[in-house]
Structure 1
Amino acid sequence: MNIHFFFPAFLLLVSASPALPGPGGAPPVREITMRECVETALRGNIDIAISRSERESAGLSVPLEEAAFLPRLTGDVSFSRSIGPTGSSIAGTLTVDQNAWKLDAGVSELLRSGTALSLSFQNQRLEAGTALSLFNPEYTTSLTLSARHPLLKRSGRKVTEAPLTIARAGTEAATGEWLAKVMDIIATARTSFLAFHAAYRQIEVRKAALSLAERLFDQTAARIDAGLAAPMDRLPAEAAVASRKEELLRVEAAAQNAEDDLKNVLGLRADQEWEERLIPVQPPEAPDAPGPNDTYPEALKRRPEVAALSARTRQAEIQEMVARNGMMPDLSLTASAGLTGLAGSPFPNPFFPGGGTEFEGSYGDSLRELLSGDYYTWFVGLSTEIPWKFQRERAEWARARSALEQQRLRKESLRANIRAEVRKARRDLDSSLDRVDAAAASVAAARGKLEAEERKFDLGASTTTQVLEFQQDYAQALLAELTAKTDAYVSQTRLWRSVGTILEKEGISVR
């Protein structure tokens, strides 16, 4: 019995047979490559969708913070009427009936230096026919410019722009974290495909091993019937067939689990996609040895986690600076200047006969009085607020310092982890490639031993038990070679991920 041609031919047959259409009611079957797995995962993986949404949300914080430095317009239009008793003896009446129309407008803006400016324009038309009134109706207008500039706490461009700077750093960090998630999913898609591919190929090896055991069982039975072997020689062959059937069932279940794991990584959602059977295609390219650029310094330049954590550290530094500034007293310089105008129709007043003619006029005359600059007010002063013992401010500063120290430690930890990942990935890839060569030699040797033992069996110089042992050795050598090749692909994937070149290696560009 010669297996030199039979065993490889059988492996080819069983690898192709699942791709054939099944009977009615069987689930659809399609082949899938590792590249297709990566592309499908990038489109459908839920974790990538979540990370993309988080990046977009972080990007929206920048225009939100920029809006703090845009002008704000205010306006107020109102009418009010009041009728009430009065206890004044000079009002000339027991009740006061007033109608008031107001039209106010204003604009305010926060400058990047921290100065807050506001300009308000107020207008009122008042009707109140009492002895206290000089005009009825009366028009009053005012235009006021106010400014408030912090001198200690919240003073300076850096402190004022801190929320905007933090938002920009947060956007940069979210982009780096999203890019890292994309790389993780690509690596996971590749390793999940490789695990599924290895499990699927194990089925082929186990089927071939079972077929060899069944052929040996038939040959042993024929030898027993011909009187060339003892009946007890049937027992090892029967046990081998049963054992290899059990091994086949075990690897088939493992392959189904690996297929489900792959579908989960791909982000498949439709029921028909989960019912569809996948057939993994052998990866076309062989893994290469680590290159000269697969190094720790290169990883520090390429890994998006490094940029993301640097941005988070900048956020913590700015927050610490703001908290330290909060330890100062709140001292602000305030100033305001305003113009006023007055006009109206003179109202007979027993206490001021003939008065008010200077301001006789309409609303337009009130505006002219306002713009003449004859009537004005101005104010300059200092205002302060000092918290007792600065207890809250001290706690916030201590918390900010602690957060900054944590970010710096995380940065150091990340660098150490990247160094270890790169070194381990390089070492694993070199070892896996050496194991592939060694496993190939082991397969050739095991195949030669089995062929020799088969020839001895045909000549009656070997037993069923001995042939079964060599069959098992050959199957184990094939599995070891499959494991070594899979480990080489996985190690290559991990090296690409640890250095940060997996997007480039896969030919993927992201925006």
Structure 2
Amino acid sequence: MLSVGVTMATASELSLKTAIAAALEHNLGLRIATYEPANALDSVEIEDAQFDLSLFGQTSLDERQSAASSSALDAATAPESESRGASVGVDKRFSTGATVTLDSSISRSASNNNAARNPDYGTDVGLSIRQPLLKGAWSRVNLAPLARAKVTAERSIFELRSEILDLILDTEIAYWNLAYARADRTLIASSLALAENLLEENRERERLGLVTPLEVLQAEAEVLNQQEAVLQADNVIADAEDALRRSMGLADFIEPIHQEVFVAGLPGQMEPLRPIEVVVKDTVLNDVAAQIQERRLEIERINHMLAQDETRPDLDFTGGLSYLGRDTNGSTAYRGAYNADGYDWSLGMELRVPWGFREARARVRQAERSVEQASLELYDIKQEKALAARNAWRSASTGLKRIEVTRTAMLLNEEAFEQERARYGSGLVAYRNVLEAQRDFDQARSRYLASLIETLRATVRLSRVDGTLLQRNGLDWDIVDPYTQVLEPSAELTTSLSSNTP
């Protein structure tokens, strides 16, 4: 795992890698999303447990006293009897649908009346089986719920990966938005410094009688305009810092926040784009949303197969064999059962046919439509992602060209401003010419800065679409997956939540 090692109490520069690591470790939205795959994996275990052994047992005691004898053969005027019994066994369900039961029982009866044995012990040890032959028969049907649970677990993992990629995307964009906000503030501050410098020059020129008071007022108004722009830029920086803190999960926004967040500057150069054909192909092959939909399609196919199974009649084979023992002593009776003194065996077939199968056939039709719908949605997702890749590539490509154009325009406006300023110093033009040239230069610098951030955002979004976002940030799933494990809430988180509960 990446080492986060970042606190908002330090004023050192926060790297993008550290910001992403903090988001993966502390973002509450991601922590919440990790519970779904954990629950899905437990569902796999639940389905697999249907084939576990099951132990059972019971015991009973029954006493009876008749009000009077009912036969001349009775030895007692008020016959009394006592019956006791106990049984224990184990059964197991197999993937063929068969249920096999192994059990043993012992019973004891005693009476004050005539009896061949008193007490009379009866024992048996038996094995029975029930095997479906049509509905619910064989491994394909009986393992389908387990297979469906596994596919559902895979789907939940891909959904979590989609959440992770979205979080990395949001964190990187929030990081560069803050870098842009600080760069824009620096640009405005330089414009303010320039406006203050020109104001000082105009005041000195006014003192010497070279300019009118109007030009001094114009310079003062420009300073105030730039001061207002600085205030707005400070507010944008604060909003960008909070957005990054939210992604990183390192602030609850309840306690006051006094520390600033400093990030790296906007990159001056962008990596060249891969050909659009390669980008579109990688997008279609590696898109997480398509992988999620493929698992959904597989689930619908399993549901269709189970729905078809419901249209078959219940036809079960049953069989059983028990060995019996009987004596006045319990242990002797058991030895008789093991020695097969007596036996009881049976074979049978059971048939149950719902009239018309109307419900089952309606469910099959629903399942067939669900499979077709999921197939069309999968194709639609791939088509949509291919289109998104083309749009994102064109946006990034246009942005790269725009950077070069705005950079050239900025240099030309800078040169024009310097010339107008020199001509103003020589008394050849009015101050308004300088002011307009300065504003054109400021706008050119602002457009260049905007082209950088917009192209950077487009490039980041393109990497999310074509599946290269992790690679872009030096990550892979082996590094990221440990962050997705469901952990017990930390002591700090529990304390924080408790203290914030009304």
Superposition TM-score, scaled by structure 2 size: 0.87
Q: CA deviation at 1:102?
A: 2.9
For 2:48, the equivalent position in structure 1 comes to 66
Q: CA deviation at 1:242?
A: 2.1
Structure number, greater radius of gyration: 1
Correspondences of 1:271-282 after superposition (within 5 Å): 274-282=257-265
1:102 has 2:85 as partner: yes
1:377 has 2:344 as partner: yes
Q: CA deviation at 1:287?
A: 2.3
For 1:232, the equivalent position in structure 2 comes to 214
Q: Secondary structure at the match of 1:130?
A: coil
- Supply the distance in 2 between the matched residues of 1:218 and 1:210 (Cα, whole angstroms): 12
For 2:304, the equivalent position in structure 1 comes to 320
Q: CA deviation at 1:482?
A: 1.2
Contact 2:125 2:338 (8 Å CA) reproduced: no
CA-atom RMSD, angstroms? Answer: 2.3
For 1:246, the equivalent position in structure 2 comes to 228
For 1:448, the equivalent position in structure 2 comes to 415
Correspondences of 1:492-511 after superposition (within 5 Å): 492-510=459-477, 511=481
Q: How big is each residue's C-alpha offset from its partner over 1:287-335, in whole Å with a ceiling of 9 and x where there is no partner?
A: 2122258422222332333222211211111011101211222222222
Q: CA deviation at 1:413?
A: 2.2
Q: How big is each residue's C-alpha offset from its partner over 1:42-85, in whole Å with a ceiling of 9 and x where there is no partner?
A: 11112221222211221122222111122222233x35242443
Distance change in 2, residues 1:224/1:73 (3 Å)? same
Distance change in 2, residues 1:37/1:130 (3 Å)? same
- Supply the distance in 1 between the matched residues of 2:267 and 2:212 (Cα, whole angstroms): 49
- Supply the distance in 1 between the matched residues of 2:49 and 2:339 (Cα, whole angstroms): 36
For 2:94, the equivalent position in structure 1 comes to 111
Q: Secondary structure at the match of 2:34?
A: helix
1:434 has 2:401 as partner: yes
For structure 2, which runs of at least 5 residues remain unmatched after alignment? 1-7, 482-502
For 2:149, the equivalent position in structure 1 comes to 167
Contact 2:126 2:321 (8 Å CA) reproduced: yes
Correspondences of 1:209-224 after superposition (within 5 Å): 209-224=191-206
- Supply the distance in 2 between the matched residues of 1:314 and 1:273 (Cα, whole angstroms): 50
Match among 114, 128, 132 for residue 111 of structure 2: 128
1:177 has 2:144 as partner: no
Q: CA deviation at 1:343?
A: 0.8
Q: CA deviation at 1:189?
A: 0.7
- Supply the distance in 2 between the matched residues of 1:86 and 1:472 (Cα, whole angstroms): 117
1:80 has 2:51 as partner: no
For 1:23, the equivalent position in structure 2 comes to none
Q: How big is each residue's C-alpha offset from its partner over 1:401-430, in whole Å with a ceiling of 9 and x where there is no partner?
A: 333233223212210121012112211221
- Supply the distance in 1 between the matched residues of 2:286 and 2:20 (Cα, whole angstroms): 20
Q: CA deviation at 1:283?
A: 5.1
For structure 1, which runs of at least 5 residues remain unmatched after alignment? 1-25, 345-361
For 2:19, the equivalent position in structure 1 comes to 37
Given residue 336 of structure 1, which amino acid in structure 2 is its aligned partner? G
Given residue 120 of structure 2, which amino acid in structure 1 is its aligned partner? E
Distance change in 2, residues 1:250/1:367 (3 Å)? same
Identity among equivalent positions (%) equals: 24
Q: Secondary structure at the match of 1:436?
A: helix
Superposition TM-score, scaled by structure 1 size: 0.86
Given residue 474 of structure 1, which amino acid in structure 2 is its aligned partner? F
More displaced stretch, 300-309 vs 105-114: 300-309
1:491 has 2:485 as partner: no
Q: CA deviation at 1:270?
A: 4.9
- Supply the distance in 1 between the matched residues of 2:365 and 2:120 (Cα, whole angstroms): 58
Q: CA deviation at 1:103?
A: 3.0
Given residue 461 of structure 2, which amino acid in structure 1 is its aligned partner? R
Contact 2:106 2:121 (8 Å CA) reproduced: yes
